[in-house]
Amino acid sequence: MAFADLILPLAVPGRFTFSIPDGIAVRAGMRVAVPFGRGGKLYGGLVRRVHQEAPASAAREILSQIDEAPIVTEGQFMLWERIADHYMCSLGEVMIAALPGQLTLSSETRIVVNPFIAEEPARTDRAGLLISALLEREALSMKEAGELLGLKDPMPAIKRLIDEGVVIVEEELREAWKPRTVTYVKLTEAASNEEALHAWFDKLEKKAPKQLHLLMRFVELSRCMSDAPLEVEKNKLLHLSDSSSAALKPLVEKGLFELYEREAGVPAPATLGKGKPTLSLAQTKALNDVREGLSTKGVALLRGVTSSGKTEVYSTLIDEAVADGGQVLYLLPEIALTAQIIERLRARFGDRIAVYHSRMAPHERAELWMRMARGEGSPPIIVGARSALFLPYRDLKLVVIDEEHDPSYKQHEPAPRYHARDMAIVLAGIHGAKTVLGSATPSLDSMHNARSGKYGYAELLTRFGNVAMPVISVVDLRDAARRRQMKGHFSQPLIDAIDAALKKREQAILFQNRRGYVPVWQCESCAWVPYCDHCDVSLTYHKKLHQLRCHYCGRNYPPPVQCGQCSSNRLRMIGFGTEKIEEELSEIFPEARIARMDQDTVRGRQALDRILTGFAQGAIDILVGTQMVTKGLDFDHVSTVGILSADSLMRFPDFRAHERAFQLMAQVAGRSGRRDKPGNVIIQAHEARNPVIDLVTHHDVEGFFNREAEHRRAHGYPPFMRLLSLSLRHRNEERVAATAAALALLLRERLDERVLGPDIPGVAFVKDRHIRNLLIKLRRSAHREEKDFVREAIDRVFAQPEHRAVQLVVDVDPV
């Protein structure tokens, strides 16, 4: 009898052996339906191995075969196993993270009739019975569908309906991602020649001077009489001509202009697949250095200052890999913030690019996965965020990891808590591909690997077109307050810089890494502060919603009218967030158009796109935001950047606080002056002489690395040691404390002083659970053996009944 080892979509360690009945022919990578657990729930398991070795105990039988061909490759399984092993999680957890939701089926999966198809023709078979029941009850679980159809295993029947598009998994009914569209203006065919344009000039000069000004601005922007005319976005035209839609509408109605729309990020058909750009001397040298690093090391780090043209270097390498018949993975930290890069890549590579990200509809993700798994029309270039790592590549030749320093590459919840940058290098190794890491502010880990010779290294230290780096100045907030030169949270130099930019019709970005209106309400009499009932954290006030919100569990509370301790009515607000900055700006610059970009304003599907489009087209003068504004934004007219509170970036109890602060300040500073004019950056700080701030002002990445590496080496932190974090959680504080103490005691038998804790964290109570943390330092030369010891210690402690109920979260290489 044949047997199959399966991976099930459950957070349960190990693989599970099932017998293969007659009539079923399965291979590794196929899904099969199996019963699991005491209740016999159905799951779609993945076959990892087929063999003849009978297990020690009786094996349950596979009920049915779901796939006719494998949907997961051997290379993917190898990656999953590396992730599960390194990050100390189960293969089932990796499977859940990797597969699109539509491909992960269980008896709890709920299905509904697809509302996006035309009326389903009448059926007389079991499928018709199922559709009738769904129309009546709206949704059915897989288990309920099986009972209705009288089938022990309904998965094959339901899969056929999913493949036909008749039913869908319930989660797909969430609002589907829709690409943002941009409206453009062009001359009608009748008005496109020089003679017709002169006639329009004469007509408008006499009767409509505002419309004449609009037309002249269009001619200037579009270069419509040249050999290389440009497209003109409607909002950009209205902004730069200081006009409104009311002036444009009559010209459309009269037949001068016509409007058309196109998906944002998709270039005009005439620009698709355009020729290779000419690289500058600096780009050419960097490209050659990257090639040399890839040929000798397999991995190369490209450190290029902001606006230096790193994307063109990547594009040249991508072109070479695709010409060689291979596939390319281009990873970005956050897909929603990188439409500009995607547009550039599409302009060069056209329809050879596919984008893969969590905002796509689930069925679109599943379709791309299946196309690649079957090798049918598989796109050679994939651009995506973390999840693109898991796609079924067949001939991967190159992996590009842009903004490799970004902490968004790290998955935090749920497991697997993997780092996409590190696992992308593993993926490339599995396929024999090359890896390019790029950043203006590389992580200390990557810089150390380059310095030590593990990675190749290349530099691109001049901006494209020899544009000057921004001028960075520091304002001492203590001195400004003493001289009474502050207006709210704005110093006079920052106000003057913003004012000068607005007068020149330029734009400004202001960075404050805290959302909300104020972080703390406090009683003036007894210093009482309102806290969340379910978390050990103060509540943040959001003025627009007029509510206090917990940023840990998401609960909302009405603002207090009196002190909860002494009943005093004297309550004050302390601190400031992006919402308060937005309010203060509107008072200082009442005529300016201001927008805010943080988690509160970009919750809707199109909210972020609207903000970025408005800013790109000049409909927004000042953009206020959290660290979102530091990522991948490239706008022509941003001349001024303000960092409102540099101190707050460095005051975190984290050994990486200074590294994060340096990267954030350097990155947001790089948003200014990216074309022909040098930018102006104002950093406000109470500790104006902080050495980290001084290094930012001098754009000194090397100096920062040397300083920070010295501290890390002295105190035994990455990149010189590896870290493993253990977080224990339980409703009973005494129980979680006892389990943490028992685990720490056992770990110290071998690791001694390299076990830190158990500590009570700054926020020690979240979502009704008490927390204790352990931090373990692992020697790089023996981290695998030491990690195995940690596994054994965890198993020994949690095998004891008094500790089993405590939740354990393991985070390897925390960031």
Q: What is the pLDDT of residues 478-532, one digit of tens each?
A: 999 999 999 999 999 999 999 999 999 999 999 998 888 878 889 999 999 999 9
Q: Which two tokens stand for residue 13?
A: 């360690």
Q: Is the pLDDT reported for residue 307 higher than 80?
A: yes
> Given CA atoms 317, 323, 327, 332 in this order, what sign does their dihedral have?
positive
Residue 370: closest CA among 741, 69, 59, 671? 69
Q: How confident is the model at residue 159 (pLDDT cuts 50, 70, 90)?
A: confident
Distance of alpha carbon 218 from alpha carbon 441, whole angstroms: 39
DSSP string computed for 641-700: EEES-HHHHH-SSSTTHHHHHHHHHHHHHTTS--SSS--EEEEEESSTT-HHHHHHHTT-
Backbone torsion region of residue 63, taken as left when φ is above 0, otherwise alpha when ψ lies between -120 and 50, otherwise beta: alpha
Residues paired with 35 in a beta bridge: 42
- pTM of the predicted structure, to 2 decimals: 0.82
Radius of gyration of the chain from Cα atoms?
29
Per-residue pLDDT reduced to its tens digit, 726-761:
999 999 999 999 999 999 999 999 999 999 999 999
Distance of alpha carbon 717 from alpha carbon 658, whole angstroms: 13
Q: CB-side exposure of 101: number of CA atoms within 13 Å?
A: 19
Q: Which two tokens stand for residue 211?
A: 């419309």
Q: Is 309 helix (H, G, I), strand (E, B) or coil?
A: coil
242: phi then psi, degrees, rounded to nearest 5? 55, 40
Per-residue pLDDT reduced to its tens digit, 275-289:
577 899 999 999 999
Mapping DSSP onto H, E and C, the string for 738-762 reads HHHHHHHHHHHHHHHHHEEEEECCC
Burial call 295-332: b when 16+ CB within 10 Å, e when fewer? eebbbbbbbbbbbbbbbbbbbbbbeebbeeebbbbbbb
Residue 358 pLDDT: 75
Residue 535 burial (C-beta neighbours within 10 Å; 0-12, 13-18, 19+): buried
Per-residue pLDDT reduced to its tens digit, 190-207:
888 888 888 888 888 878
Instruction: Quote the strand ranges of 305-429, DSSP E.
Output: 327-331, 353-356, 381-384, 396-402
Q: Is the pLDDT reported for residue 702 higher than 80?
A: yes
Q: How confident is the model at residue 174 (pLDDT cuts 50, 70, 90)?
A: very low
User: Kind of pairing, strands 299-304 and 434-439?
Assistant: parallel
Distance separating the N- and C-terminal Cα atoms of the chain: 48
Q: How many angstroms separate the most distant Cα atoms in the chain?
A: 96
Mean pLDDT over 430-450 rounds to 97
As a whole number, the mean pLDDT across the chain is 88
Q: How confident is the model at residue 338 (pLDDT cuts 50, 70, 90)?
A: low
Q: Which two tokens stand for residue 750?
A: 């071998």
Q: How confident is the model at residue 268 (pLDDT cuts 50, 70, 90)?
A: low
Tell me how many degrees the CA angle 448-450-453 measures, rounded to the nearest 5: 105
Per-residue pLDDT reduced to its tens digit, 625-636:
988 887 767 788
> Given CA atoms 263, 269, 271, 273 in this order, what sign does their dihedral have?
positive
Q: Which two tokens stand for residue 204?
A: 């408008």
